[in-house]
Amino acid sequence: MNHSRFSRVLTLMLAGIVAVVALNVVLHATQTITTPNASKVSYTLNAGASSAAVNPAESLPVLVMGVQNDLGYRGVGEVTMLHVPSSFLEWTGIESPASAAITSGFSGTAGTHIVYLDYSHLVDIQVASTDTFVIHNANTIAMAGVVTLIW
């Protein structure tokens, strides 16, 4: 009888320890889900024109993805970008087809190529300043598309 009482007490103690450990794990296993911020820039650019400057969020990873929608020039390109305030933009991603390739770099110099958005590599995102970029149309006809930033 003494042995069965000891066994019961030991079982209750183990169950209590398991409950405390499980509760501790559950309390520390919280997940915070936040809604991302997003910005959409629609563009229609005449031949040789650039969009207004776009200022990505500072010191955060920003997904910059764009599509070119014109027939015969459609394409898509994307980069993940870091904006180091008053210093430079840094990026890595993939160019639009036909010859899709990895694009990466950093610069604060206006005109530096970041990523192509169209099949023919005539519409691209370029550095505009240490803090901004523009969408540039090097084609001889007007081009239209959308660039989305998510951070």
> Residue 67 belongs to a domain with what CATH number?
2.60.40
Domain that residue 29 falls in: 1-33
- CA 111 to CA 102: how far, in whole Å? 19
Number of domains in the chain: 2
**59 plus 28 within the same structural domain:** no
Give the residues of the chain that fall short of pLDDT 50: none
**71 plus 12 within the same structural domain:** no
The pLDDT assigned to 30 comes to 74
As a whole-number percent, the residues of the chain with pLDDT over 90 amount to: 74
**71 plus 145 within the same structural domain:** yes
Q: How far is CA 1 from CA 6, 8, 13, in A?
A: 9, 11, 18
Q: Is the pTM of this model over 0.95?
A: no
**104 plus 131 within the same structural domain:** yes
